[in-house]
Each structure stands twice: as structure tokens, then as C-alpha cells.
């Protein structure tokens, strides 16, 4: 580790992995509820489990982003972090706030939670992914601002590389667009319109800047390719991301009361959204092929290549599959969406965090790379989780196609629940693939505890 203050990243990474485990466990509960409808009812109804599943996802990704930034920024800026102490205070604040929120979801009915936490003062709850009570939302803003202050001050007092600048833009964008979560007009069309300014402009906008920046950083470190080349690629990728992704928001404005012209804008621009992901894949493979050194951390390189490929498949290909308005008319709000969501989030954001953790954790633990034995185990977990998510996606896609046919296309459309019963086989297969994912995750965690001949610190 080049700078002592990079060590604050470690608790962030550990918390991220812990919350990731929670996310997957609740995912398995949800998968079972799809086929055994009354599983855990009424103790943990589906909506509660889903809220826990998606909120844990968001929070662990944010922990990963923050940890990654705390690790990367001092090294890029060639200076110690502005305030390691602030980073640790914010860590505990965020962890405790996050844990209390999850306990709140599970302990009391949602309506009671809303009553208790001041939803009457400012009504922001009960919208998908933004279910957090008002104090939690305010806490997220405080933590984000403190974090941004810390990171920005570090960059300002040190070297300003393109990788840092792109990361800062991504992180500031994340904080700014989160503010739309406080706007909840009584007009449901306006509510939905601006809800996407948080949700879409996060995952198909500014988060991709964070992704690109992390990927560029790890590629520089592991391949030794010239920084000028990598940073040029980074700019090209984030350009493609934003010129397609911003107007691409339009693919959410097809059927929510917004004018029909969005069907054109949304279809055309979001059809181009796979391009930046394709560029990212080409970028990663290209840089690894042109490597000037053999980095001992093979696992981190595998995650870097994997995130490019899986983000392209999940976000790019599976997104394109249902993004054209005439197709989306039939697939909107079905299991096709769920299929896309699972592979896109895993491929783009889970994997990029796992890549950063894979690269940084050994160094934070005082070695250039983990032992061969540990890396082999980590690579097994890579393949198990990745193949499992591919199968989850394929089964949900099959379920989705059948659902669309039975419920929306056939001559005698079936009611929702009748169609669901007919496709239960695919939900069962999805659940088995989910169990395989959990095994992969357990192996991943085990890889941290395997000893052997660690590579000396460089």
C-alpha cells in the first residue's frame, strides 16, 4: 500500500461483502416465494423481502464504491486522504443507518415504519428502490456529502488525473441525482417521470462513470499499459455512455403518460446503449493483451475481463432485447425486465466492486497478491457466480417469454396468476441457479481465509 490512509477502504469492503451475503439470502427467499407462495407469510411478505433484497444491493454497491474511491484516490492523487478519520466516522454512520433501516423493514409493518419515521412531514416512501424512511434518505445525503468532501479535497490537494476526474463526476452525479428521491408530487405521472432521474440516471448514467474509472485504474495497475492510452479509452467510453444514456432515459417514458415521441427518442438512443459496454469489453481485453507486465493477481484481471463481458451481455444485450418500443409494449413489466436487471446489476456493478476488492484487498492485507491456492478458489467462485447468474437470466427470460405470450399476445389472454402457475417450472430452475450462486459466494468468502505462499508486497 503506497499511502497509509488507503487502509480506510478495508472496513468498507468487508461491509460490502457482508451486505452482499444478506442480499443473496433474501434473493433466495424471494425465489422460493415465487413458487411456494405462502413461504414465510405473513412474517416476511414478498414486498418486505424484496425491499431488503434491492436495498441491500444498493447499499453494498455504495459501500463498494466508497471503499474503492478511498483506496484509489490517494494513489491517483499521490497524497494521503484528506481525512481518514472522517471516512471512518461516515463508515459507522452509514453502516448503522443501513442496519437500522433493514431492521425497521423486517420488524414493523411498512405503514407503521412510515408513521414512525416522519413520512407525514415529507412523503418520500413507498416508491420502488427509494423505500427508505426519511431519516435514512437524509443520512444518505449527509454521508454522501461528507464522502464527496473528503474525496474532492484529496484530489484538490494532489495530482488530478483523468481517472480521478471521471470518478468525481460519477460520484457527484450520484449525489445530485439522488436528490430527486425527495420529490414526490401527488401527480403520479410527474412522480414517475422524476423517479427515473434518480434510478435511470444512476445506473445507466453516472454509475457507469464510476465503473469505467475503477476499471481503468485496475487495468493500469495490472497491465502496465501507458496511462495516456488507458485514459483516452476511458474518455471515449464515458462519452459513449452519456450521449446514449441520457436521452436513453426515454425508454422508461413509453407507457407512463408521457408523450408518444419518447417512443422514438427512447428506442433509438437506448438501442445505442450497448455500444459503450461493448467498448468496455474491447478495452479490457485489448489492454490485457497489450500488457507490459505479469501481475501476480490473476484473479483481479479475471474480474476486470468478466465485468466487461457480463456488463455488455446483461446491460447491453439483455437491455436491447426489450428496449424498442414495439417490443417493450408487450414485455414491459414482465420477467424479461427481471432477467435483464439481474444480469446487468451483477455484470456491471457487483463485478466491478468485486474486481476492486480483489485487486485492493491483498494489498491492504500487506501483500501484492493472494497465494495461488486462494486465487484458484476465488476464480472458482467467479465462474460459479457468473455461470449461475447466466442461468438465472436464461430461466427468467424463458419465463418472461412465456408470460408475455400467455398473458398478452395469445388469442385468449390468461389472467396474471394463471399464467404464473404455468411457468412455475422456470421459477424452480431459477431458484436452483440461485442456490448455485450462493455456493459461489460462500467459496468467494472462503478464499479470503486460505493461506499459502502469498506474493511479497511489491
Partner 1 sequence: MSGAFTKSMARNIFYGGTIFFFLLFLALSFDTHSQLPKRDMRANITPQIAEGKKLWEVNNCIGCHTLMGEGAYFAPELGNVVVRYGDEGVKAFIQSRPKEGIPGRRSMPQFNFTDEQLNAIVAFLKHVNSINDANWPPNSQG
Cell digits for 267?
428506442
Q: Are 442 and 407 in contact, with CB atoms under 8 Å apart?
A: no
Region near partner 1 per CB under 8 A, out of 96-104, 181-189, 304-312, 369-377: 181-189
Smallest distance, Å, CB 72 to partner 1? 19
Region near partner 1 per CB under 8 A, out of 85-93, 120-128, 304-312, 443-451: 120-128
Q: Are 227 and 154 in contact, with CB atoms under 8 Å apart?
A: no
Region near partner 1 per CB under 8 A, out of 37-45, 63-71, 174-182, 446-454: 37-45
Smallest distance, Å, CB 289 to partner 1? 15
Name which position in 20, 26, 34, 395 contacts partner 1 (CB under 8 A): 34
| SS3 assignment, position 83 | coil
Q: Are 1 and 28 in contact, with CB atoms under 8 Å apart?
A: no
Preceding omega of 163 cis (within 30 degrees of 0): no
Count the residues of the shown chain that bind partner 1, applying the rule CB under 8 A: 78
Name which position in 2, 4, 47, 145 contacts partner 1 (CB under 8 A): 47
Q: Are 284 and 335 in contact, with CB atoms under 8 Å apart?
A: no
Task: Find all residues with CB under 8 Å of 345, minimum gap 6, and list them.
Answer: 57, 203, 314
Ramachandran region of residue 126, left (φ > 0), alpha (ψ -120 to 50) or beta? Answer: left
Smallest distance, Å, CB 166 to partner 1? 8
Region near partner 1 per CB under 8 A, out of 270-278, 293-301, 357-365, 401-409: 401-409
The reply on whether position 435 binds partner 1 by CB under 8 A is no
Q: Choose among 210, 224, 208, 175: nearest CA to 67.
A: 210
The reply on whether position 441 binds partner 1 by CB under 8 A is no
2/410 with CB nearer partner 1 = 410
Name which position in 93, 337, 371, 372 contacts partner 1 (CB under 8 A): 337
Residues between 251 and 280 that touch partner 1 (CB under 8 A): 252-263, 265
The reply on whether position 175 binds partner 1 by CB under 8 A is no
The reply on whether position 41 binds partner 1 by CB under 8 A is yes
DSSP letter at 451 equals -
Region near partner 1 per CB under 8 A, out of 65-73, 114-122, 301-309, 377-385: 114-122
Smallest distance, Å, CB 305 to partner 1? 20
Region near partner 1 per CB under 8 A, out of 5-13, 117-125, 301-309, 365-373: 117-125
The reply on whether position 376 binds partner 1 by CB under 8 A is no
The reply on whether position 186 binds partner 1 by CB under 8 A is yes
The reply on whether position 48 binds partner 1 by CB under 8 A is yes
Name which position in 45, 118, 146, 224 contacts partner 1 (CB under 8 A): 45
Smallest distance, Å, CB 216 to partner 1? 12
- Burial label, 33 (beta-carbon count in 10 A; 0-12, 13-18, 19+): buried
Site string for partner 1, 214-243 (x = CB under 8 A): --------------xx-xxx-xx-xx--xx
User: How far is Cα of residue 423 from the mean position of the Cα atoms in its chain?
Assistant: 28
Q: Choose among 70, 349, 385, 355: nearest CA to 222.
A: 355
In angstroms, the CA 453 to CA 429 distance is 40
148/238 with CB nearer partner 1 = 238
Residues between 403 and 422 that touch partner 1 (CB under 8 A): 407-409, 413-417, 420
The reply on whether position 326 binds partner 1 by CB under 8 A is no
235/432 with CB nearer partner 1 = 235
The reply on whether position 187 binds partner 1 by CB under 8 A is yes
C-alpha dist (Å) from residue 48 to 25, 113, 167, 378: 13, 12, 33, 32
Q: Are 403 and 419 in contact, with CB atoms under 8 Å apart?
A: yes
192/298 with CB nearer partner 1 = 192
Name which position in 11, 25, 46, 141 contacts partner 1 (CB under 8 A): 46
Per residue in 231-257, is it b (16+ CB within 10 Å) or e — as a string? Answer: bebbeebbebbbebbebbbbbbbbeee
The reply on whether position 2 binds partner 1 by CB under 8 A is no
User: How far is Cα of residue 326 from the mean position of the Cα atoms in its chain?
Assistant: 28
Cell digits for 170?
460519477
Tell me which H or E stretch contains 344: helix 335-344
- How many residues does the structure list for the chain? 458
- Burial label, 92 (beta-carbon count in 10 A; 0-12, 13-18, 19+): exposed
The reply on whether position 334 binds partner 1 by CB under 8 A is yes
DSSP letter at 131 equals -
Compute, in degrees rounded to 10, the torsion defined by CA atoms 195, 199, 205, 206. Answer: 100
Site string for partner 1, 53-92 (x = CB under 8 A): ----------------------------------------
Amino acid at each position: 500500500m503506497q499511502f497509509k490512509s488507503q487502509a480506510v477502504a478495508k472496513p468498507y469492503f468487508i461491509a460490502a461483502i457482508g451486505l452482499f451475503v444478506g442480499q443473496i439470502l433474501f434473493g433466495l427467499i424471494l425465489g422460493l416465494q415465487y413458487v411456494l407462495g405462502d413461504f414465510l407469510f405473513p412474517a416476511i411478505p414478498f414486498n418486505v423481502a424484496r425491499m431488503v433484497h434491492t436495498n441491500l444491493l444498493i447499499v453494498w454497491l455504495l459501500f463498494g464504491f466508497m471503499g474503492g474511491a478511498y483506496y484509489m484516490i490517494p494513489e491517483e492523487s499521490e497524497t494521503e486522504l484528506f481525512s481518514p478519520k472522517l471516512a471512518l466516522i461516515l463508515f459507522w454512520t452509514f453502516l448503522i443507518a443501513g442496519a437500522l433501516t433493514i431492521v425497521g423493514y423486517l420488524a414493523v409493518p411498512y405503514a407503521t415504519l412510515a408513521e414512525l419515521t416522519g413520512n407525514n412531514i415529507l412523503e418520500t416512501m413507498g416508491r420502488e428502490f427509494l423505500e427508505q424512511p426519511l431519516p435514512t434518505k437524509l443520512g444518505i445525503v449527509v454521508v454522501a456529502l461528507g464522502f464527496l468532501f473528503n474525496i474532492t479535497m484529496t484530489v484538490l490537494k494532489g495530482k488530478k488525473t483523468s481517472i480521478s476526474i471521471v470518478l468525481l463526476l460519477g460520484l457527484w452525479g450520484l449525489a445530485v441525482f439522488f436528490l430527486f428521491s425527495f420529490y414526490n408530487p401527488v401527480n403520479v405521472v410527474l412522480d414517475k417521470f422524476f423517479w427515473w432521474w434518480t434510478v435511470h440516471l444512476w445506473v445507466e448514467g453516472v454509475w457507469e462513470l464510476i465503473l469505467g474509472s475503477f476499471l481503468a485504474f485496475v487495468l493500469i495497475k495490472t497491465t502496465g499499459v501507458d496511462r495516456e492510452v488507458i485514459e483516452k479509452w476511458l474518455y471515449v467510453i464515458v462519452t459513449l455512455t452519456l450521449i446514449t444514456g441520457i436521452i436513453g432515459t426515454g425508454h422508461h417514458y413509453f407507457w407512463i403518460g408521457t408523450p408518444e415521441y419518447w417512443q422514438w427518442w427512447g428506442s433509438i438512443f437506448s438501442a445505442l446503449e450497448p455500444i459503450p459496454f461493448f467498448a468496455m469489453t474491447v478495452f479490457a481485453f485489448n489492454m490485457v493483451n497489450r500488457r507490459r507486465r505479469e501481475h501476480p493477481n490473476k484473479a483481479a484481471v479475471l474480474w476486470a475481463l468478466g465485468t466487461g463481458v457480463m456488463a455488455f451481455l446483461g446491460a447491453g444485450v439483455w437491455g436491447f432485447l426489450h428496449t424498442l418500443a414495439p417490443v417493450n409494449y408487450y414485455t414491459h413489466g414482465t420477467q424479461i425486465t427481471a432477467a435483464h436487471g439481474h444480469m446487468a446489476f451483477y455484470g456491471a456493478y457487483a463485478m466491478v466492486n468485486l474486481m476492486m476488492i480483489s485487486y485492493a484487498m491483498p494489498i491492504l492485507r500487506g501483500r501484492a497478491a493472494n497465494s495461488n491456492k486462494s486465487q484458484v478458489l476465488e476464480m472458482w467462485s467467479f465462474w460459479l457466480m457468473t455461470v449461475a447468474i447466466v442461468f438465472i437470466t436464461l430461466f427468467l427470460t424463458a419465463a418472461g417469454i412465456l408470460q408475455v405470450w400467455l398473458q398478452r399476445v395469445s388469442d385468449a389472454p390468461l389472467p396474471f396468476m394463471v399464467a404464473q402457475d404455468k411457468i412455475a417450472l422456470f421459477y424452480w430452475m431459477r431458484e436452483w441457479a440461485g442456490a448455485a450462486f450462493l455456493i459461489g459466494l460462500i467459496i468467494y468468502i472462503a478464499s479470503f481465509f486460505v493461506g499459502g505462499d502469498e506474493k511479497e508486497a511489491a
